[in-house]
Amino acid sequence: MAKIKILWLDDQREPYSYFKKTRQGNGTWERNNEFYQNNIFNQYDVEFVWVKNIEEFTQYIMNNGVPQFISFDYDLKNGRMKVDGPVPNGGDCAKWLVNYCKKNNIQMPKCYSHTANKTQRPLLNSILGITENKSKKIIVTESMFNHIIKTSL
């Protein structure tokens, strides 16, 4: 099974706990996210790197390079208050990533929006230059993701 490293941007949800398998009503065991269940965990040996804010996000990428895949949350409060201005969010991280990749002539990684914030999910898509016809959390389609991963590994 191929390995894949996923940069997980979320201030509260630790990825391994978030994706813990739970027993469904029909007796099967599944994770709580269909995209990850069907497209990631069943096909790849996944390693998550959990970052909680824009500082950790940018520092990780500057120190380790751009990973193959990034999963975005939008709301990144992480105990911060809006005392000195707006708290940077997943959209700010996406903007930084796009600029960083352009500036350094690096190909953008594959991205997914796992945010529960339905009103801001389209903003993430827009920043990342992704258009989608359906209001789903998926930024890349299953066939796109599988083709891209197979050709980049």
- Check residue 137 and give its pLDDT: 42
pTM of the model: 0.75
Distances in Å between the alpha carbon of 143 and those of 65, 97, 150? 26, 24, 11
- Check residue 150 and give its pLDDT: 53
- Check residue 146 and give its pLDDT: 54
Q: Which residues of the chain have pLDDT under 70?
A: 20-24, 28-39, 78-85, 130-153
Q: Is 67 exposed, middle or buried (0-12, 13-18, 19+ CB in 10 A)?
A: middle
- Check residue 142 and give its pLDDT: 46
**Treating both helix axes as pointing N-terminal to C-terminal, what angle do 90-103 and 54-64 enclose, rounded to 10 degrees?**
30
